[in-house]
Structure 1
Amino acid sequence: MAAPFEIMVARIETLALDAIVNSAKPDLSPNGALDAAIRQAAGPSLTAHTNGMPALDPGEATLTPGFNLPARHIIHTAPPEWAEGGEEGAKIAALAGCYMSAIKLAQLQGFASMAFPCLGTGRLKWPRGFACAIAVAACEQALTEAPGVKRVIFCCFTEDDARLYRAALS
Structure 2
Amino acid sequence: MLTNRISIIKGDITKLKVDAIVNTTDPYFSGSSVVDAAIHRAAGDRLREECDRLNRSSKSEAKITSGYNLPARWIIHTVAPLWQKGNNNDERMLAVAECYRNCLALAEEYSVRTIAFPAISRGMLGFPRREASRIAVREVKGFLERNSSVEKVVFVCLEQKYYNHYWNAVKEIIE
1:9-158 paired onto structure 2 within 5 Å: 9-83=10-84, 88-158=89-159
Q: Residues 135-154 of structure 1, C-alpha deviation per residue, up to 9 Å, x if partnerless? A: 11111122233320010000
Instruction: Quote how far apart the aligned CAs of 1:54 are.
Output: 2.3
Judged with a 3 Å threshold, the aligned counterparts in structure 2 of structure 1 residues 112 and 13 are, in CA distance, closer, same or farther, namely same
Instruction: Quote how far apart the aligned CAs of 1:59 are.
Output: 1.2
Which range is displaced more, 144-153 or 124-133? 144-153
Cα distance in structure 2, aligned partners of 1:125 and 1:41: 25
Aligned Cα RMSD in Å? 1.6
For structure 2, which runs of at least 5 residues remain unmatched after alignment? none
Give every structure 1 segment of 4 or more consecutive aligned residues whose post-TM-superposition deviation is greater than 3 Å: 84-87
Judged with a 3 Å threshold, the aligned counterparts in structure 2 of structure 1 residues 86 and 108 are, in CA distance, closer, same or farther, namely farther
Specify the SS of the correspondent of 1:144: helix
Q: Count how many residue pairs are aligned between Structure 1 and Structure 2.
A: 170
The amino acid that maps onto 1:148 is: S
Q: Residues 80-104 of structure 1, C-alpha deviation per residue, up to 9 Å, x if partnerless? A: 0002797522111110011111111
- Normalization by structure 2: what TM-score? 0.92
Judged with a 3 Å threshold, the aligned counterparts in structure 2 of structure 1 residues 160 and 87 are, in CA distance, closer, same or farther, namely closer
Q: Residues 4-62 of structure 1, C-alpha deviation per residue, up to 9 Å, x if partnerless? A: 10001010000011000000101222221111111000001111110111222211111
Specify the SS of the correspondent of 2:124: coil
The amino acid that maps onto 1:62 is: K
The amino acid that maps onto 1:93 is: L
Cα distance in structure 1, aligned partners of 2:145 and 2:78: 20
> Quick one: percent identity of the two aligned structures?
34
Cα distance in structure 2, aligned partners of 1:168 and 1:21: 20
Specify the SS of the correspondent of 1:93: helix
For structure 1, which runs of at least 5 residues remain unmatched after alignment? none
